[in-house]
């Protein structure tokens, strides 16, 4: 079992044989979890980008609001909802 040293900044170097085995390369992200006295590292897998043929696009506007510009005005709609909620309280 390899032993690694923690730097002043809290960094560790993962052994090359483990990086190769797990396909971990420069700029990859790892999830770090504690489990008792152990740290668990897990590579973050990137989701495949949706293509124009993906059926999810047919669902846009199917919600009860009928709004079709939610992706572009997401923050505006959230802010409007918060203002309404504050006024009610």
Q: Name the phi and psi angles at 37, rounded to 5.
A: -95, 15
> What does the domain layout of the chain look like in residue ranges?
1-46, 55-88
Q: What pLDDT does 1 receive?
A: 85
Question: Do 67 and 61 touch, CB atoms closer than 8 A?
Answer: yes
1-46, CATH topology level: Pemi-like Protein 1; Chain: D (2.10.260)
pLDDT for 50-61, tens place per residue? 888 888 777 776
Question: Do 59 and 70 touch, CB atoms closer than 8 A?
Answer: no
pLDDT for 40-85, tens place per residue? 999 998 777 788 888 877 777 677 777 777 777 778 878 888 888 8
Its pTM stands at 0.50
Q: What pLDDT does 61 receive?
A: 66
């Amino acid at each position: 079992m390899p032993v690694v040293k923690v730097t002043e900044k809290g960094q560790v170097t993962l052994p090359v044989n483990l990086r190769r085995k797990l396909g971990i390369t420069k700029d990859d992200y790892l999830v770090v979890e504690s489990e008792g006295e152990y740290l668990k590292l897990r590579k973050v897998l990137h989701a495949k980008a949706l293509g124009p043929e993906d059926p999810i696009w047919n669902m846009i506007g199917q919600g009860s609001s009928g709004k079709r510009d939610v992706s572009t005005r997401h923050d505006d709609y959230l802010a409007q909802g918060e203002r309404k909620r504050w006024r009610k309280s």
